[in-house]
Amino acid sequence: MAAPAVTIVVPVYNEEANLRPLFARLAATMDATGRPWEAIFTDDGSRDASAAILRELHAARPDVVRAIEFERNAGQHMAIMAAFEHARGDIVVTIDADLQNPPEEIPKLLAAADAGHDVVGSIRRNRQDVGWRVYASRAMNFVRERITGIRMTDQGCMLRAYRRGIVQQIVATGEQSTFIPALAQYFAANPAEIEVEHAARAAGESKYDLYKLVRLNFDLMTGFSVVPLQMFTIVGMLITALSVILVGYLMLRRLIIGPEAEGLFTLFAILYFLVGVVITGLGLVGEYVGRIYNEVRKRPRFQIRAIHEKLE
């Protein structure tokens, strides 16, 4: 098949109510650009009728729709990575399937890519999410930038455009746990950010609860920086120094004033604090060790059941 100019990548997980309206708007937008394009939908082990609808869309528009079906759920970023491996466009655009990212905003990203930017991020204008998600996202953005040094105003918005060279570098990493927007920023030579509209979810429920957002940021921070380990080392050194000072003070007090029977609970409090620090540090080290373990096992990052595409 002749290579398209643009590839639209859509990860899908239990989005049966949104797929048909999404594709109708996506097709109208992309056909109006006059550019050859394709859309790769990755069904990430959906338990609803999403896979069947994707096969239906492929049958209706085999010239542009390609569908990848996973055997089981592997996560949004692995769904995107699978599509990246099959993308043929010079510009690759990622967009969520929930219609919170309006497909009509895609030409803005294409224009920025045409201007010479190899990665085009987006910033959601008038964000239509519940309050706790907005504030949690801002806090995580702040922590991520301080720890990794990667600058992204809105890391949670997946409406983004990448030049083919960036996509190829992302695929070549072969990492088990990754955060694609941050990885793209790491490889980018001339990134840019633009404002895009944001809409309330059309149907269905968000796939990211607070726990998954925290886990995602663990992947981000431990995948791009060793600062958490360094911070823990510094905290350990400071606590050791304070402990030495405390022991010296207690020894002098015992020699000058006498034993401190009433200070028993203070010592218990200090002990519990130190134990908490140790457990936290072990958990942090465990995060890094767990990621090393996942990498050295070399298990497949995802399992593809079927690929639906037009061959010529």
The pLDDT tens digits of the residues spanning 158-215 come to 899 999 999 999 999 887 777 888 889 889 999 999 999 888 776 766 665 666 666 6
Specify whether the CB–CB gap between 185 and 79 falls below 8 A: no
Q: What is the pLDDT of residues 73-95, one digit of tens each?
A: 988 889 999 999 999 999 999 99
- Over range 116-129, report the average pLDDT: 85
**pLDDT on residue 308:** 83
Specify whether the CB–CB gap between 19 and 57 falls below 8 A: yes
- Over range 277-298, report the average pLDDT: 74
H/E stretch holding 42: strand 37-43
pLDDT at 229 over 80: no
Residue type, 17: A
Which residue, 290, 308, 224, is CA-closest to 42?
308
**pLDDT on residue 34:** 93
Average pLDDT across the chain, whole number: 82
pTM: 0.73
pLDDT at 10 over 60: yes
Q: Any idea how long the chain is?
A: 312
Q: How far apart are CA 181 and CA 162, in angstroms?
A: 10
In this prediction, what percent of the chain has a pLDDT beyond 70? Answer: 75
> What share of residues in the chain are helix, strand, coil (percent, to 5)?
55, 15, 30
Q: How far apart are CA 93 and CA 262, in angstroms?
A: 66
Range from 83-87, 127-131, 162-166, 289-293 carrying the lowest mean pLDDT: 127-131
**pLDDT on residue 196:** 92
Q: Could you tell me which residue, 163 or 289, shows the higher pLDDT?
A: 163
Q: Exposure of 248 by Cβ count < 10 A (0-12 exposed, 13-18 middle, 19+ buried)?
A: exposed
Alpha-carbon dihedral angle through residues 141, 105, 86, 205, given to the nearest 10 degrees: 60
SS3 160: strand
**pLDDT on residue 275:** 77
CB atoms within 10 A of CB 25: 15
- Alpha helices per DSSP H over 34-75: 50-60
Q: How far apart are CA 124 and CA 118, in angstroms?
A: 20
Which residue, 79, 10, 3, is CA-closest to 36?
3
**pLDDT on residue 130:** 56
Q: What is the pLDDT of residues 240-286, one digit of tens each?
A: 777 777 767 767 777 777 666 566 656 766 777 777 778 777 777 77
- Over range 229-248, report the average pLDDT: 72
Q: How far apart are CA 257 and CA 250, in angstroms?
A: 10
- Over range 100-126, report the average pLDDT: 93
